[in-house]
Chains A and B, each alone.
Chain A
Amino acid sequence: MKHKDWVIIGLLVLGWVIFLGQPTPVSARLRNFLTRVTTPLVKVGDWIPTVRSRRQLAQQNDDLRTEVNILRQRERTNRETARENRRLERLLEMKRRLGFPTLAARVIGRDASNWWKSIQIDRGEQDGVRENMAVVSADGLVGKTIAVSRGEARVLLLLDPDCKVSALLEESREPGVAQGVTAQTRCEMLYVNRAAKIKPGEAVLTSGLGGIFPKGIHIGSVLEAGLDPQSGMYQRIHLEPAADFRRLEEVLVILRAE
């Protein structure tokens, strides 16, 4: 190449440098165009550091799977804890409403028999639990303690025919006895005045008589009422229990009802 050619190339380059360095509309458009063209190539460049061997990827995949499983398990635990918190909050609310000394207990077992209705709780004599103490859930009355050992107690459920509770209709103030029905998962109220006017949905509460169950605990609500076919002297009321006996997990034992 001759000396003259170098001078021409130098002038051209200098011209281009001066031209591109100026913020003119033409140079700006050119810059944008080139940017659009080169950006995908820049992105391809991003892949370069992540290229690894298949073995490394497989290892990473395994690690991530393990981590995902751990996180899923943790999430399940967190959800369960959140649910438990909600249940305990409701139980705490019940504890405040009751105003008696109470003891929270977990349900650790159900009745081994199909004929009796009871649950086992994880609190016993060493925690201050004694026989014939009322047990409630966040929704209402559950039953009473019947057999207490050192660290556990058995609670006879309201659904058992042997669990009899002195009860009161909330609005009509008619008294009666609430108890379970043989071989069924519902309860009824007996010995209610045959002249009483009872509305479906009316709440049934403990009357406080008998000394075991404090007054005012929600037992259930009236499903239907009719004349007792056996005696014909009283009304028999079918009740919808307030507590959900299939889903009992935590309960409160009322330590002293006075």
Chain B
Amino acid sequence: MMRTFFAILLVTAGAALQAALPVFAWLGGIRPEVLPALVAYFALSLKRPAAVVALAALAGLMHDSLSAAPFGVTVATFGAAAQVLWWLRDWLERGLPWVQLVAGAFVSLVTGIVALTLIGVTAVAVVKLVWLALLNAVVAVVVFFALDYGRMQMGWDA
């Protein structure tokens, strides 16, 4: 119960942080995203797929409520990406930084590709998609480290 509450709180805080972060001109006019990293973390850390998808859906709802994106579109993308990562979790060593990088980039790419199908694909948009995925991959490593450390301190297991 406590962990569920904590996870919901984490998603809420992540969404608020993502909306509050400024757009960095030196990063090419984009802002790093926290929610794809959280979705990747849940997918590779939790045992129950229902919990993974539920948290991913919640993250998607939070995202869409703070965006002009069609409401619900990110629920599907986060949910699908989380489900795929959860299926692959036995083949992935989640403690390795490159796995965390790839997981973060994967969720970001899936979300971006779905967004582009809605708003239209251009060359600039594809460059932005790749650049954003790289940036979010780095965010994922930071999120994995921070949350693993937090869990270790609390003595929580998956």
Contacts and interface: CB of A to CB of B under 8 A. Distances in A.
Interface of A: 109-118, 120, 146-147, 154, 156, 160-162, 181-185, 246
Contact of A162 (B23, B119, B122): B119
A249 to B, nearest CB: 13
B115 interface: yes
Contact of A182 (B31, B35, B124): B124
Given A113-B69, A117-B68, A184 B124 contact: yes
| B interface bracket (residues with beta carbon within 8 Å of A) | 20 to 34
A113 B65 CA distance: 10
A113 B115 contact: yes
Contacts of A160: 68
B63 A112 contact: yes
B67 A183 contact: no
Contact of B122 (A109, A116, A182, A246): A182
Contacts of B63: 112-113
A156 B23 CA distance: 17
B52 to A, nearest CB: 21
A104 to B, nearest CB: 22
Contacts, number: 70
Given A109-B20, A182-B125, A115 B119 contact: yes
23 contacts: A109-B66, A110-B19, A110-B22, A111-B68, A112-B15, A112-B19, A112-B66, A113-B63, A113-B69, A114-B33, A114-B112, A114-B132, A115-B69, A115-B115, A115-B119, A116-B68, A118-B67, A146-B68, A161-B119, A181-B122, A182-B120, A183-B119, A183-B124
A115 B69 CA distance: 8
Mostly helix, strand, loop or mixed at chain A's interface?
A: loop
A160 B68 CA distance: 9
B114 to A, nearest CB: 9
Nearest to B74: A113
Given A110-B19, A110-B23, A116 B124 contact: no
B124 A156 contact: no
A183 to B, nearest CB: 4
Contact of B23 (A109, A181, A182, A246): A246
Nearest to B15: A112
For the complex of A and B, list the 8 residue pairs with the smallest distance between their C-beta atoms, beginning with the closest. A118-B68, A183-B125, A112-B66, A115-B115, A116-B68, A112-B19, A113-B67, A182-B120
Contacts of A109: 19-20, 66
Contacts of B19: 109-112
A111 B66 contact: yes
A231 to B, nearest CB: 15
Contacts of B18: 112
Contacts of B155: none
